[in-house]
Amino acid sequence: MSLLEIKNLKTYFHTRAGTTRAVDDVSFSIDKGEIVGVVGESGSGKSVTCHTMLGLLPSPPAKVEGGAVTFDDDDELLHLSPPILRAIRGKRISMIFQDPMSCLNPYLTILDQVAEPILTHENVSREEAERRAIEMMKKVGIRDAEQRAHSHPHEFSGGMRQRAMIAMALVTNPDLLLADEPTTALDVTVQARILQILRGLRDDLGVAVLFVTHDLGVVADVADRVVVMYRGKVVEQGSVLSIFENPSHPYVKGLLACRPTFETKYRILPTVDDFLETEEAPDGSLTLRERPDAADRLAELEKQVATDEHTEALPTTEPLLEVKDLKVHFTSGGGFLGKPKETVKAVDGVDLSIPKGKTLGLVGESGCGKTTIGRAILRLVRPTSGSIRYDGANLASLNPDAMLAYRKRMQIIFQDPYASLNPRLTIEQALTEPLAVHRIGSGSSDRRDRVVSLLEEVGLSSAHLLRYPHEFSGGQRQRLCVARALAVEPEFIVCDECVSAMDVSVQAQVLNLLNELQESRSLTYLFISHDLSVVKFVSDHVAVMQAGRIVETNCAEDLYRNPKETYTQELLDAVPKADLKTLRKRSG
């Protein structure tokens, strides 16, 4: 029996630049107690579909041009009065939004915000609401919930904020949960816990879930059915097993092929463009067809499988970077009414080395110290003790002036490309700035030529020079950050979660780009990520980090095939399984 039925939904955005068909004749349904995964790239209309049914889109420019959204065989959500829709929203239908920082009120504590839906929709005391809020915070993995509940959003990490958002959505035990990319920024272990919670709600309380994501592995692990969207349309839908075992649409075939897994043997990942051709008519309608040479292209990539270089023993040659007994401690508190100082040992005695031209993958849960290691190596944070030897020099002991000479040789690609680009600078200004700082190039004209060459190297063009960061997609912005890191011709790059929030197709493009640049420029990478499948694909060797320490290091193939530490095995076990054998067993 359908709890939610969407029929021929059309949501268009009318702007001065023209009309965007964000949702264009979309139809699907969700039964009671069913989890339906909606998959597609950014811009496919997944989130707009959710926002439309709850009346959350700004009008103008958004306008529902047609269709119907029926909830529980009674309410037609698109035509409900605002007071009635508000009574349903947050109680019977809850939503987990994608960006927790922009959705949480910075002035209120986490406890106030998680308890608010209970106080709004139920006649209970504040004490009871807060008790239930803390209980739900514990369920979604917020440690020391009683104490952390009184923190404000800025005091939580990104993953912790997402957990707070999930707790807020689940605390009223809704009939339908709209989950918009709820696990994108989470570690695999926390992600596994959240997926387990969602499955438990479905099994115990009959909660239906519309799970929006770009991660096909997660969909395979949690969903009963899959709806695949592309450019505002549903291109294929069916059971999880049928979609993974026998996809019929070329776009779906491309999404499945470009997703790195533990079994991936490609050195160059396929992309959606290898499978799909699109043709747009003057009225904005799309014609999609499979590329006639798709099979040949895939066969060509299969010939370029990974060689045995990933299973070689750890190198005995002199490393480009060698870290020994690195410690980074942060002290807080003290000096006020005798309050004792607290020391956080973010990095606590780490040893690692990276040979020239190789990639070391660094994996672990949020808060384990991965990013702090990368920043300490680049001297963006001051090490407490230990040595950081780069090409023979101990960076930990250099003063700022002496360190400047190494800034050209060592760069970083940050996790959030939008936050790391100055919104007031054009792309030309952003990319020529490091050249000017390090006095590279004979003048402005020469620097501009260098920037044009960089853009072409990362798959962009000179036509992008005068644009600002907000005029690019997420994948294009990350390519710009890669270009900026390359501008000063470094030897070593820290890649800090640089593909963690990307669509799988864009992620494949950026990973291919990093591999190609490593080969052409002999680059050395420290690749930091919580996505173990991506780390295996890109890395020669992998280091596993837990609570500020490296607990295991090995070549990629051996570590994934035969982990020695229990913690490493727990990380691997938490990765969603999307192989056909597992899916057939799960489907019975």
In this predicted structure, the answer to whether residue 299 has a pLDDT above a threshold of 70 is yes
In this predicted structure, the answer to whether residue 217 has a pLDDT above a threshold of 90 is no
**Lookup result for tokens 């950050």:** 481
Question: Environment class of residue 284 by beta-carbon count within 10 Å: exposed (0-12), middle (13-18) or buried (19+)?
Answer: middle
What does the pLDDT look like over 228-246, one tens digit per residue?
999 899 999 999 999 999 9
**Lookup result for tokens 């779906």:** 252
Task: State the Cα–Cα distance between residues 447 and 439, nearest whole angstrom.
Answer: 10
Beta strand residue intervals within 338-437, DSSP E: 342-354, 359-363, 385-390, 393-394, 410-413
Q: How high is the pLDDT of residue 132?
A: 93
Q: How high is the pLDDT of residue 501?
A: 67
Task: State the Cα–Cα distance between residues 396 and 384, nearest whole angstrom.
Answer: 9
Nearest to 370 by CA among 515, 545, 210, 562: 545
Q: How high is the pLDDT of residue 376?
A: 94
Which carries the bigger pLDDT value, residue 240 or residue 100?
240
In this predicted structure, the answer to whether residue 7 has a pLDDT above a threshold of 90 is yes
Contact 161, 104 (CB under 8 A): yes
**Of the listed ranges 176-185, 343-352, 546-555, the one predicted with least confidence:** 176-185
Q: How high is the pLDDT of residue 228?
A: 94
**Of the listed ranges 30-39, 408-417, 472-481, 507-516, the one predicted with least confidence:** 472-481
Which carries the bigger pLDDT value, residue 586 or residue 1?
586
Q: How high is the pLDDT of residue 158?
A: 66
Query: Given strand 233-239, what is the order of strands in its sheet?
Result: 93-96, 176-180, 208-213, 35-39, 225-230, 233-239
Question: Environment class of residue 199 by beta-carbon count within 10 Å: exposed (0-12), middle (13-18) or buried (19+)?
Answer: middle
Q: How high is the pLDDT of residue 491?
A: 93
Assign 548 to helix, strand or coil. coil
Contact 427, 465 (CB under 8 A): yes
Which residues, 6+ apart, have CB-to-CB distance to 138 below 8 Å?
A: 145
Which carries the bigger pLDDT value, residue 42 or residue 136?
136
pLDDT bucket at 216, cuts 50 / 70 / 90? confident
In this predicted structure, the answer to whether residue 454 has a pLDDT above a threshold of 70 is yes
**Of the listed ranges 223-232, 330-339, 431-440, 522-531, the one predicted with least confidence:** 330-339
In this predicted structure, the answer to whether residue 41 has a pLDDT above a threshold of 60 is yes
Mean pLDDT of the chain: 86
In this predicted structure, the answer to whether residue 351 has a pLDDT above a threshold of 70 is yes
In this predicted structure, the answer to whether residue 340 has a pLDDT above a threshold of 70 is no
In this predicted structure, the answer to whether residue 313 has a pLDDT above a threshold of 50 is no
Task: State the Cα–Cα distance between residues 258 and 436, nearest whole angstrom.
Answer: 38
pLDDT bucket at 309, cuts 50 / 70 / 90? very low
Nearest to 36 by CA among 9, 68, 3: 3
Assign 565 to helix, strand or coil. coil
Q: How far is CA 272 from CA 26, 278, 354, 478, 558, in A?
A: 22, 11, 33, 18, 30
Assign 218 to helix, strand or coil. helix
Task: State the Cα–Cα distance between residues 220 and 236, nearest whole angstrom.
Answer: 15
Tell me the residue length of the chain. Answer: 588
- Can you read off the two tokens belonging to residue 550? 């490296």
Average pLDDT over residues 24-28: 93
Contact 328, 346 (CB under 8 A): yes
pLDDT bucket at 412, cuts 50 / 70 / 90? very high
Average pLDDT over residues 236-262: 90
Residue 278 backbone phi and psi in degrees, to 5: -125, 145
Which carries the bigger pLDDT value, residue 471 or residue 146?
146
Task: State the Cα–Cα distance between residues 87 and 174, nearest whole angstrom.
Answer: 12
Which carries the bigger pLDDT value, residue 41 or residue 242?
242
Q: How high is the pLDDT of residue 98?
A: 73
Assign 323 to helix, strand or coil. strand
Assign 549 to helix, strand or coil. strand
pLDDT bucket at 312, cuts 50 / 70 / 90? very low
Domains of the chain: 2-92+174-247 (3.40.50.300), 108-172 (no CATH), 354-382+394-584 (3.40.50.300)
With a pLDDT cut of 90, the percent of the chain lying above it is 40
Average pLDDT over residues 33-50: 89
Q: How high is the pLDDT of residue 458?
A: 84
Contact 277, 288 (CB under 8 A): yes
Task: State the Cα–Cα distance between residues 280 and 282, nearest whole angstrom.
Answer: 7
Contact 68, 7 (CB under 8 A): yes
Which residues, 6+ apart, have CB-to-CB distance to 310 below 8 Å?
A: 539, 540, 555, 556, 557
Contact 417, 478 (CB under 8 A): yes
- Can you read off the two tokens belonging to residue 273? 């463009």
In this predicted structure, the answer to whether residue 200 has a pLDDT above a threshold of 50 is yes
Which residues, 6+ apart, have CB-to-CB distance to 442 below 8 Å?
A: none
With a pLDDT cut of 70, the percent of the chain lying above it is 94
What does the pLDDT look like over 130-160, one tens digit per residue?
999 999 988 877 888 888 899 998 888 766 7
Q: How high is the pLDDT of residue 337?
A: 57
Which carries the bigger pLDDT value, residue 544 or residue 476?
544
Residue type, 288: L
Task: State the Cα–Cα distance between residues 54 and 165, nearest whole angstrom.
Answer: 17
Residue 159 backbone phi and psi in degrees, to 5: -65, -35
> How many Å separate Cα 455 from the centre of its chain?
24
**Of the listed ranges 234-238, 340-344, 371-375, 516-520, the one predicted with least confidence:** 340-344
In this predicted structure, the answer to whether residue 542 has a pLDDT above a threshold of 90 is yes
pLDDT bucket at 317, cuts 50 / 70 / 90? low
